A and B are shown apart, each in its own frame.
Chain A
Amino acid sequence: MVVTILDIIISGLLLGGIYAMTAVGLSLQYGVARVLNIAHGEFIMLGAFITFTLYTRLGIDPLISFAICGPAVFAVGFILYRTLFTRLRDTSPTVEAFEGNSMLASFGLLFIIQNVAILVWGANIQGYTYMAFSVDFWGARFAANRLVTLGFAIVICLVFYLFLANTRLGKAIRAAAQDPETAGLMGVKINQVLALCFGFGAMMAGLGGALVSISYQIQPTMGLEYTMIALIVIVLGGLGSIPGSFVGGLVLGLVGSIVTHVEPGLSLVAYYVIFMLLLLIKPTGILGK
C-alpha cells in the first residue's frame, strides 16, 4: 500500500518535471511576448531530435548536448520573433488583435517546422537508450533516466527563475511583462527584450525536448500534444507566472499519475476537464489571487 502510494507520487513527479519544463517556456512567451504559441511543441520536438541526432550520429552525451541544442533552438525562436512577430505587432491595431493574429501565425509555423522536420528526419518514431538501468526507492523501482530528467528539469527551471529574479535583463523582462510601453519609456529596448523572451521560451522548450528524448520515444508529429499539455499547465499555474507554471506542471503530473492508476485511458480526459473547469471558475490559476 505504502509502496503503491509512493510509486504513484514519484511517477507523478517524474511526469510533472517534463510538464513543468515545457510549460515554463510557453508561460514566458505568452506572459511577456503575448504570443500564444501553438508551435511551442514543435520547439520541444526540435530539441528532442537535435539531441537524438547528436547522440546517435556523433555519440555526444545527451546531457552535454544541452549546450548545443539550447542555443540552437533559442536562435530559431529569436529570429522568428524579430522577423515575423515584430511585424505582426506593428501591424495589429490592439493587443487583443495581436494575440489572435500571432496565435494563428504560430499555427502556420507548426506546419512549417513539423514538415521540415519530417523532410529531415522522416516521419517514423525514433528513440535511443540512455541510462536505462533502474534505481530502487524503498521497494519501488524507477528508471535512472527519468530521475535524471526530473533532476535536470528542477535545476534548469530554478536557474532560469533566478536569472529572471536577479539579473538586469531579467528585470527588463519582468518590466516588459507588466507594461511594455512604460518599460520602453524607461529605456528598455522593448523589441529586443520581447524577442529575447520568445527565444528563451523556445530554448526552454528545446531543453525540455532534450529531456523528453532521454526517457520517451519521439516523432516529428509529437509537438501538438505537448503544446496542449503546456497550455493546461500554464492555465493551472496562472497565465504568465513562471513559478506557477512549475508548480502547475508537478501538480498535473501527479493528477495524471493518479488517474492513470485508476483508469489508464482517462488521464488526458481528466487534464481537459481540469483545464476547462479552471477557465470557468478560476482563470487566474491555483496560485492566482
Chain B
Amino acid sequence: MGIEKRTSKEVIGVSLALLILAVTAAAPLYAPRYTVILLTSILMYMTISVSWALFSGPTGYISLASAAFFGAGIYTAAILGTALPLPLVVLVGGLVSSCLALLVGGLTLRLKGIYFVMFTFGLVELLLHFILWWEVTISGTTGRVVPPAGNATVFYTMLIILVVLIVTAVFIRRSRYGLALLSIGENEEAAAHAGTHVTALKVIVYAVSALFMGAAGAAMATRWTYIDPRIAFNPLISFVPVLMAIFGGIRPLYGPVIGAAIFTYLEEFLITRFPYYYMLIFGIIMVVAILYMPDGLVGLTQRAWKRMSRNKHAHT
C-alpha cells in the first residue's frame, strides 16, 4: 500500500468523523429531548469504552475497575455540589479518578493475568461496600442529591469529554508510547529489555484512561440528580463497556465507538419493546459476540470486504 493511498484514506476518515461530530453537536437544536438524552447515554458509554480500550486494548490487561473510576467521579460531583462551576467539577472528578488509578496501578500492575482482573473488580466492590457503610453510619444517609444541570449542558459536556479523549487516544497511538504499549501486550519482558519503562508507562496510561471515566461520571451525576453507592458503583459499568469494545472491535479506535453506539441503542430499544426479555437477549448477544466475533464488527466487515474484493478479482 502506497503512502498516498493511506493519506487519502485518512482524509476520508477524518472528514467523515468531523461530519458525524457536526451532526451530533447540532442535535439539541433540531432533535427531540428524548433523542438528546439517548445521545448523552451513548456518549457516556463511548467515553468509558474508548478509555477502557485505550489501556486494555494494546496491553491485554483486562481492567474491571471502570465502575470504580466512574463512581469516584460521580461521588466527587455529589460532594462538591454547587461549590464549583460544572467544568471544574468534571475536571476534579477526572483527577480524583486518575489519582485512584495511579494508586491502584502502582500497586497492582505487576500482577499478571487473572490476578489483575480480580483485583480491579475487587476494588469496585470494596469502594461500594465501604461507601455504603460510611454513608449509613457516618453521614447518616444512603443517597445524595446532585444539583442538576440542563439536558443540553450535560450533552455538550459529555461530547467535549469524548472529543478530548479521542484526540488524546489518537495522539498516544501515533506516538512511540503507543507502540511501546503494544509491545507490552505482545511480550512484556522483551519490551522491558528493549528499554521501555514498562511499569511507568502502564501506570500513566491507566491513569489517563481513568481521568476520562471519572470526568464522565462527574458529568453524568448532574443528569441523574439522585445517586447512592449502588447506582454509582454499579458493577455493570465495569463489564458492559468491555463487551461494547469487543462487540465493535478492540484494535481500531473507532471499534469501541461503534460498539457503544449500537449496544446503547439496542439496550434502549430492547427495554422499551421487550422489558421482560431485554436482559436475557442482552446476555445472548454478549455470548454470541464473544464466540463468533473475536475481532468485533470491524473485523467481521473487514473479512467480508476482503472476501468480496477477492471474488471480484477472481471473476475478472
Residues of A within 8 A of B (CB): 30, 36, 84, 87-88, 91, 96, 99-101, 103-105, 107-112, 114-116, 119, 224, 228, 231-232, 235, 239, 265-266, 268-269, 272-273, 275-276, 279-280, 283
Contacts and interface: CB of A to CB of B under 8 A. Distances in A.
Interface residues of B, number: 39
Contact of B113 (A96, A108, A224, A231): A96
B284 A224 contact: no
B294 A91 contact: yes
A151 B111 CA distance: 37
A279 to B, nearest CB: 5
B115 interface: yes
A265 B244 CA distance: 35
Interface in B158-193: none
Contacts of A91: 291, 294
Contacts of B137: 265
B148 interface: no
A29 to B, nearest CB: 12
Contacts of A101: 290
Interface in B40-57: none
B243 interface: yes
A279 B246 contact: no
A116 to B, nearest CB: 7
Given A114-B279, A115-B280, A265-B133, A276 B119 contact: yes
Given A115-B277, A269-B126, A272-B126, A279 B286 contact: no
Nearest to A119: B276
A100 B59 CA distance: 13
Contact of B119 (A224, A265, A279): A279
B122 A276 contact: yes
A280 B136 contact: no
Given A103-B117, A119-B280, A279-B111, A109 B60 contact: no
Interface in B87-146: 107-108, 111, 113-115, 117-119, 122-123, 125-126, 129-130, 132-133, 136-137
Contacts of B133: 265-266, 269
Nearest to B278: A115
B283 A110 contact: yes
Contacts of A269: 126, 129-130, 133
Nearest to A38: B239
A111 B282 contact: yes
A86 B260 CA distance: 28
Interface string B280-300: 101111110011001000000
B290 A99 contact: no
Given A111-B279, A272-B122, A87 B129 contact: no
Contacts of B283: 108-112, 115
Interface of B: 60, 62, 107-108, 111, 113-115, 117-119, 122-123, 125-126, 129-130, 132-133, 136-137, 235, 239, 242-243, 246, 276-277, 279-280, 282-287, 290-291, 294
A251 B256 CA distance: 42
B55 to A, nearest CB: 14
27 contacts: A91-B291, A104-B62, A104-B246, A107-B239, A107-B286, A108-B285, A108-B290, A111-B280, A111-B282, A111-B286, A114-B279, A115-B277, A115-B279, A116-B280, A224-B235, A265-B133, A268-B129, A269-B126, A269-B129, A269-B133, A272-B129, A276-B122, A276-B126, A279-B115, A279-B119, A280-B107, A283-B115
A74 B118 CA distance: 26
Given A36-B117, A109-B283, A112-B284, A87 B122 contact: no
B41 to A, nearest CB: 19
A228 B133 CA distance: 18
The interface centre, meaning the residue of A84, A99, A105, A108 with most chain B CB atoms within 10 A of its CB, is A108
A276 B123 contact: yes
A36 B286 CA distance: 17
Nearest to A39: B283
B118 A279 contact: yes
B287 A112 contact: yes
A-B pairs, top 9 by smallest CB distance, nearest first, are A111-B283, A108-B286, A272-B126, A112-B283, A108-B287, A115-B280, A265-B133, A268-B129, A115-B279
Contact of B291 (A84, A99, A112, A276): A84
Contact of B243 (A104, A112, A266): A104
A116 B199 CA distance: 44
B125 A228 contact: yes
Contacts of B122: 232, 272, 275-276, 279
B129 to A, nearest CB: 4
Given A96-B60, A273-B126, 19 more contacts: A84-B287, A99-B114, A104-B243, A104-B246, A105-B287, A107-B239, A108-B290, A109-B287, A111-B279, A112-B283, A112-B287, A115-B277, A119-B277, A228-B125, A265-B133, A269-B133, A279-B122, A280-B108, A283-B115
Contacts of A109: 283, 287
Nearest to A34: B114
B280 A36 contact: no
